[in-house]
Structure 1
Amino acid sequence: MDIADYAAHDATALAMLIRQGQVAAAEVQAAAAAAIAQVDPELGAVAGEMFERPLDYDRSGPFAGVPFAIKDLIIHAAGVPQRSGSRLFGDGVAHAHDTALMTRFRRAGLATMAVTTSPELGFNATTEARAYGAPTRNPWDPARSAGGSSGGAAALVAAGALPVAHANDGGGSIRIPAAACGLVGLKPSRGRVSAGPDYADPLLGMGVEFAVTRTVRDCAALLDAVHGSEPGDKYLFPAEPVDFRMVITRPAPVLRIAVTADMSQAHPDCARAVADVADELAAMGHHVEQADPAIDYAAFHRANLDAWCSFLADAVTTAAAALGVTPGAEHLEATTRACVAYGATRTAADLYAVESTFNTARRAVASLLTGYDLYLTPTTAHPALPLGHLDADDPALTAPEWYRRIFEFAPYTALFNATGNPAISLPLGRTAEKLPVGVQFVAGYGSEATLLAIAADLERRLPWHQHRPGVYAH
């Protein structure tokens, strides 16, 4: 299998070729290694070096032999050093065990070939961590960001070097890079995918694990393979009676869809993408009208700032104590230090106030989604940003200023981390410069099937696969 043939297939197609004996898994993995080696010098998406051979995987799994990568944050594989995008961890800290999701990825048959880049501790909407020595670049325009925090994963998948890659999302970190790189980015419901055993509620419940893909069918099949609770998980999701892969083979029923009226922060290209998709949905027979949840966004963003900074303060303090270091400028970027300092001032009362604010937000979103099946917004307020626009090592920025810069770019995503609702970004828009633009659908808690059904319908009606970035494996 040559590189171009490999890059033309999604994970579902590659798995079928391997199962049918038309190509050996080793050939597919060799093509993937060559594809990564071809594009990564321009993208800077691999953290360190590719593995000499893929990590062990179950050869009877549904994706047996399909190339894959894990992100340098939260998830870990036994014996693989993890840096979390930070110089604090030196060359990386290896764990003795897999996380539950890593075990499920192996069981699904995914052949993990590398670790992908992340911003420092995940708190950025771009992937330009100093720890890796160079920024991660967008394959559509290498002068622009691939988004964050799962920017390395998104860059490799968008460039055809991998069909699918692990990603996680604490404020938009699956959906933002999916929008920037023209991919499908599903953030599942809180608890749908286990974060155990290391975490029960990452980032006060906002952190969610999954992946980025090029196709909806890969997204559905991967969710089938890895969703579900582990013993001891805080959220025990019941076994899903619906096969997600079957859901996407049938048209969605007629849906009630709310479209945000709040486009005040949206770039014209992002607003136009939402309007065009709303028109398409109406033409498909869905009931579409403007409506928004009743959210006090000033209160929400104060709470989200406190949540993020307290999480960063705890993570850095705990890691520094374990490593026996006093973190300074040689270990942490300037905005991380500012956020850690701010987070250290938060009290128990402040964190209870965060949960109170999030509770109010959850109920407001649930109220909206009682009257509607889906809520449609832009994914980000702007197309992919120029590199350097979100400079995490700017010493002039306070924690609130840094937070504001991130969420001025991505004001539509973080709310649904706080509420736990599933949300998906689809690459349904284009700028005049042919950059991808994502639109976001949000569904009721546990309603991934509805998201995937409408995503599959739109993929059939407004296919994005004919669009390829300038940096693409060939």
Structure 2
Amino acid sequence: MFKEYTRYDASGLAELIACGDVSSTEVLEAAMARAAEVNPKLAAICIPMDAMARERGKMSLQGPFAGVPFLIKDIAQDYAGVPTTAGSRALRHWTPTRHAEIVQRFLDAGLVIFGKTSTPEFAFKGETAPLIWGSPTRNPWDLDRTPGGSSGGAAAAVAAGIVPAAGASDGGGSIRIPASYCGLFGLRPSRGRVPSGQAHGEFWDGASSQHALTRSVRDSARILDAIAGADVGAPFAIAPPERSYAEEIQRPAGKLRIGYSVQSPLGTPVHPEYVQAVMRTAKLLTELGHDVEPAQPEVDGQALARSFITMYFGQAAASIAQARRLTGAGNEAFELETRVLALLGRTLSAGDYVDQRARWNDYARALGRFHQSYDLYLTPTAAQPPNRIGELATPPLQQVAAKIVLALGAGKLLFKSGMVDKLVATSLQRVPFTQLSNLTGTPSMSVPLHWAPAETGGAELPYGVQFVARFGDEAMLLRLAAQLEQAQPWSECRPPLQ
């Protein structure tokens, strides 16, 4: 057994395999052994693919990550012949017949996929606890807490050392928030940088991007090199980078102008440790020679939240409708909260949706004006630490009320009652910073630069900080991330999970 497996990032493992210091079979078995050891505590991997992986591991693989173990997310990352459940009981037995383009590119890079990671139903919750698998995914830093959503399974697996990197996606913060909660590096690429094909043109009207969660910046850069670029029939092609991202992280970051804010765009509280994370990062950036000062784009945070949640409701309705078409599933196959979101989506008119979708342009223009003065925008990644398992569960009385509303089809009543506005506040006040990047299509990243107890006597938790760049400029983010990683290394910051 390769006992030092968890010490290496994906690039390091690839180098060992290429040099013949260790075989791809030994590395795969080490990954599977680690999964067998810790996954029962975490519920991160929901669909094992061990037999398929062992067969692939025997092949002569090519690519920058030849022989490196990897996991993919159980939504949008289809693997031919393996169910894609999207965390829903309705899709438990639905099996795609072809790989998603991003999965094919993972395979072309030589990665050995040995499982799929858990996600909330249709990626609609900030914690990963789908009813289909019976057990919530837990955070390796504190097993009583969530790793976040919707790439919670991926984040837990990487943080726990099952894999050095795992496939992920981000439609409202689902790469960056789990990265923050689990002490990982998480880059959300620009709209169109990574393909959504073949089954989709764009996810969530272009708000969602796919990539990976990693422990190292170089893994993130090299994986992005492997998966970037439009596929056949893509709705549009983003301008390619000037050079590879692996090359970019070797280049100096330069002197950057960085505006920062610790104020929630919703006017809701921000945990002191997230404030401290930003202030410490601002100090570090200044010491590295960057110009850093308080500043924020002129974006109405409440308006942006309404635009995001409108898209969110609409996507819930569309996801259930699509699942019904694929499987003929009845109401009982979908979680109660998802059905309520879908009802709200069906209650909105097409005009409501188009009106809110058009406002994305306002946020993009405002952020563009901000970037005329500042290269990057720095904020906390989240406003609150990860919630405790079960903390966000719908109370019994509200479940009864929800069932009555569904039975009556009373979506309009929910809007008129003001309950939807309360839902928006409840849903986003913990994570109000990430949606700006999604609706503007801009690249952003969460960097693990601060650790502290969640509260007096609590377990130590990571608190990530977010940087948002201009559209298409992942290179600037990665150069800065490499500089920060060198100045304040985080690779040895590992959770206490044994």
Settle same-fold status: TM greater than 0.5: yes
Residue in 2 that maps onto 1:450: 476
Amino acid at match of 2:495: P
Alpha-carbon RMSD: 1.6
Residue in 2 that maps onto 1:431: 452
In the alignment, structure 1 segments of 5+ residues that lack a partner are none
Q: How far apart, in 1, do the equivalents of 2:76 and 2:465 lie?
A: 26
* 1:399 Cα deviation after fit: 5.4
* 1:410 Cα deviation after fit: 0.5
More helix per residue: 2
Shift in CA distance, 324/293, structure 1 to aligned 2, threshold 3 Å: same
* 1:392 Cα deviation after fit: 6.2
Deviations 1:145-181 (A, max 9, x none): 0111000000010011101000001000000100100
What TM-score results when the alignment is normalised by the length of structure 2?
A: 0.91
Shift in CA distance, 94/384, structure 1 to aligned 2, threshold 3 Å: same
Paired residues of 2:262 and 2:275 also in contact (CA < 8 A): no
Amino acid at match of 1:11: A
Residue in 1 that maps onto 2:71: 69
Amino acid at match of 1:184: F
Amino acid at match of 1:51: D
Residue in 2 that maps onto 1:152: 153
Deviations 1:113-147 (A, max 9, x none): 00100001101111011111000000011001011
Deviations 1:184-225 (A, max 9, x none): 010000000000111112111111111100011111111111
Residue in 1 that maps onto 2:2: 2
* 1:21 Cα deviation after fit: 0.8
Residue in 1 that maps onto 2:311: 307
* 1:355 Cα deviation after fit: 1.9
User: 409, 416, 440: which is aligned to 2:437?
Assistant: 416
SS at match of 2:47: coil
Alignment size in residue pairs: 468
Residue in 2 that maps onto 1:136: 137
SS at match of 2:359: helix
Paired residues of 1:58 and 1:107 also in contact (CA < 8 A): no
Q: How far apart, in 1, do the equivalents of 2:238 and 2:135 lie?
A: 40
Shift in CA distance, 401/94, structure 1 to aligned 2, threshold 3 Å: farther
Deviations 1:26-65 (A, max 9, x none): 1100100001111101001111334323174871110001
Over the matched positions of the two proteins, sequence identity in percent amounts to: 40
* 1:466 Cα deviation after fit: 2.1
Residue in 2 that maps onto 1:200: 201
Q: How far apart, in 2, do the equivalents of 1:218 and 1:446 lie?
A: 19
Shift in CA distance, 257/155, structure 1 to aligned 2, threshold 3 Å: same
Residue in 2 that maps onto 1:25: 24
Residue in 2 that maps onto 1:215: 216
SS at match of 1:220: helix
* 1:401 Cα deviation after fit: 4.1
Paired residues of 1:49 and 1:114 also in contact (CA < 8 A): yes
Paired residues of 2:193 and 2:238 also in contact (CA < 8 A): yes
Q: How far apart, in 2, do the equivalents of 1:235 and 1:405 lie?
A: 35
Residue in 1 that maps onto 2:387: 385
SS at match of 2:433: coil
SS at match of 1:390: coil
User: 84, 103, 107: which is aligned to 2:86?
Assistant: 84
* 1:434 Cα deviation after fit: 2.0
Q: How far apart, in 2, do the equivalents of 1:58 and 1:248 lie?
A: 29
Paired residues of 1:306 and 1:351 also in contact (CA < 8 A): yes
Deviations 1:54-110 (A, max 9, x none): 174871110001000111111101111011001122x33111111111110000111
In the alignment, structure 2 segments of 5+ residues that lack a partner are 403-418, 454-458
Task: Give runs of aligned pairs for residues 214-363 of structure 1, distance below 5 A.
Answer: 214-263=215-264, 265-327=269-331, 330-363=332-365
Q: How far apart, in 2, do the equivalents of 1:50 and 1:402 lie?
A: 38
Q: How far apart, in 2, do the equivalents of 1:152 and 1:262 lie?
A: 29
Q: How far apart, in 1, do the equivalents of 2:474 and 2:380 lie?
A: 19
What TM-score results when the alignment is normalised by the length of structure 1?
A: 0.96
- The answer to which of 360-369 and 424-433 deviates more is 424-433
